[in-house]
Amino acid sequence: MEKPTVDVNLINPFVKSVLNVFKTMVQMDLKRTSLTIKTSGKAFGEIFAIIGLAGSGSGNVVLCFPAELASQSVARMLGCDVSTLSRMDIKDGVGEIANMVVGSAKSEFSGTQYSFNISLPTVIEAESNSLEIDQKSDIPCLVVGFESNTGHKFVLEVSLKSNLMR
């Protein structure tokens, strides 16, 4: 079977958006550390925010947080202490970060063969690095690693294909 190809430039609006959302809302500087194509089903981290994409372009975006970075990020957005946050607060906050990341990137695909609408975020928790997220085999999944100025790692997974005939 022919291997699906991927245009790595598709990742750029999402990367730009991650950096902007963290800088503006979380007051945290991230730097991009890696870019790979996903080969195993396992996702990095413990808290995952998933947003589906549907339209001329389709796929999904997953933001993968280690638990500590998730709680730190939400506390910074709310201007409160981590100890005051409930699990629900953290899950809601991570979902809103994902919503802003994907929503901001969305406009850059407007009018292209990849334009899409986004679903509401779904946030799930799992044991460290144990969650299997099966991406559709016909859509390559790009995995971007980031590191925060507090030394935490964070991963963004993007699967996006065009449904339009070229």
Partner 1 sequence: MKIMIVDDSSTMRRILKNCLTKMNYENIVEAGDGLEAQLVLEQNKDVELALVDWNMPNMTGYELLQVMKGNDEYKNIKVIMVTTESEKTNVVMAIKAGASNYVIKPFTPEIIAEKITATLNK
The pair of structure tokens assigned to 107 is 């406009």
3-state secondary structure of 156: strand
Out of 13, 66, 93, 140, name the contact with partner 1 by CB under 8 A. 93
> Does the protein bind partner 1 through residue 151 (CB under 8 A)?
no
| Closest distance to partner 1 from the beta carbon of 129 (Å) | 25
Sequence-distant (≥ 6) Cβ neighbours of residue 35 within 8 angstroms? 8, 11, 142, 143, 144, 145
> Does the protein bind partner 1 through residue 56 (CB under 8 A)?
no
> Does the protein bind partner 1 through residue 156 (CB under 8 A)?
no
> Does the protein bind partner 1 through residue 124 (CB under 8 A)?
no
59: left (phi over 0), alpha (psi -120 to 50) or beta: left
| Count of residues that interact with partner 1, criterion CB under 8 A | 24
> Does the protein bind partner 1 through residue 125 (CB under 8 A)?
no
| Closest distance to partner 1 from the beta carbon of 73 (Å) | 10
The Cα 64–Cα 153 span in angstroms is 9
129: left (phi over 0), alpha (psi -120 to 50) or beta: left
> Does the protein bind partner 1 through residue 62 (CB under 8 A)?
no
The Cα 82–Cα 68 span in angstroms is 9
Q: Closest CB to partner 1 among 38 and 74? A: 74
Q: Closest CB to partner 1 among 62 and 118? A: 118
Three-state SS letters, 56-86: CEEEEEEEEECHHHHHHHHHHHHCCCHHHCC
Element (H, E) at 101: helix 87-106
> Does the protein bind partner 1 through residue 89 (CB under 8 A)?
yes
Out of 50, 118, 131, 156, name the contact with partner 1 by CB under 8 A. 118
Residues near partner 1 (CB under 8 A): 20-21, 24-25, 74, 77-79, 88-89, 92-93, 95-96, 99-100, 102-104, 106-107, 110, 118, 120
